[in-house]
Amino acid sequence: MNNTNYKQLGEKERDRIYLLKEKGLTNVFKEMENKCKEDYKKVEGNFPEWNYQERAIPWPKKIHESYVKFLTKRVKKR
């Protein structure tokens, strides 16, 4: 993403946050995250390569195995 587009999106997001807060919406940050993802995809044509969830593709085996190992350790600490 080039800097000009990024700066323009940033200004739009700031305006959007203020409008949402004025309306009394409490989930402003989730709304902002979703709007940023939409804008990124619109500008770049797809989500970032590392964003497996939004791209609806499975994690690489090494990442998945590391995550399972992390969860296993976490459960054992309880």
- The pLDDT averaged over each successive group of 10 residues in the chain (78 residues) is 52 67 68 86 92 93 95 88
pLDDT for the residue 11: 67
Whole-model pTM over 0.75: no
Looking at residue 35, its pLDDT comes to: 86
Tell me the residue ranges of DSSP E strands in the chain: none
- Give the CA dihedral 18, 22, 27, 29, nearest 10 degrees: 10
- Domains in the chain: boundaries: 3-76
Give the residue carrying structure tokens 């700066």.
7
pLDDT of residue 24: 65
* Per-residue pLDDT, 65: 96
Task: Look at residue 21 in the predicted model and tell me its pLDDT.
Answer: 65
Give residue 25's region: left, alpha or beta (phi > 0; psi -120 to 50): beta
**In sequence order, which residues have a C-beta less than 8 Å from that of residue 28 and are 6 or more positions away?**
17, 20, 21
